[in-house]
Amino acid sequence: MFTHNPELKEIFNMSNQRNGDQREALFNAIAAYASNIENLAALLPAVEKIAQKHTSFQIQPEQYNIVGGPPAGNAGRDVQPGPGGAGRVG
């Protein structure tokens, strides 16, 4: 993603990219959304926090397509399923 869109390096914390914190945060957000899909009120604080951060960086609609494009389709490849690994990223 950063190879084809180097301007995103100014938006993302590259340290969090390298150490896996961003990937883990994304996975945890998706898991929380899936777990609370019937209880949207529980998601509101997290969604508001994300929206505020995106607003502060002036994220534009077309940037969501870049981040959510094909590379993000591989986001789950490092998830370790099964007992002892369920839900862990790495």
Nearest to 42 by CA among 27, 56, 31: 31
22 and 12 Cβ atoms separated by less than 8 Å? yes
* Mean pLDDT for the stretch of residues 71-86: 47
pLDDT in tens, 25-53: 889 989 998 999 999 899 999 889 989 99
Percent with pLDDT over 90 in the chain: 24
Say whether pLDDT at 81 is over 60. Answer: no
Is residue 5 over pLDDT 60? yes
Give the pTM.
Answer: 0.60
Taking alpha carbons only, the member of 47, 65, 86, 48 closest to residue 4 is 65
